Amino acid sequence: MLLLKVTPQKAAKMMILLTVMGFLGRLIEPLGLVLIDGSNSHLKPDVPQPEIPTAFLFLGCWFPMAGLVYYFFGMETKGKSIAEIDRELAPA
Residue-by-residue DSSP string for 27-59: HHHHHHHHHHHT-S-SSS----GGGHHHHHHHH
The domain segmentation of the chain, as residue ranges, is 8-89
Dist. CA 86–CA 20, nearest whole Å: 31
pTM for the whole structure: 0.43
pLDDT by 10s per residue, the chain, length 92: 555 677 788 888 889 988 998 888 788 777 777 777 776 766 666 667 777 787 788 778 878 988 888 888 877 778 888 888 788 877 76
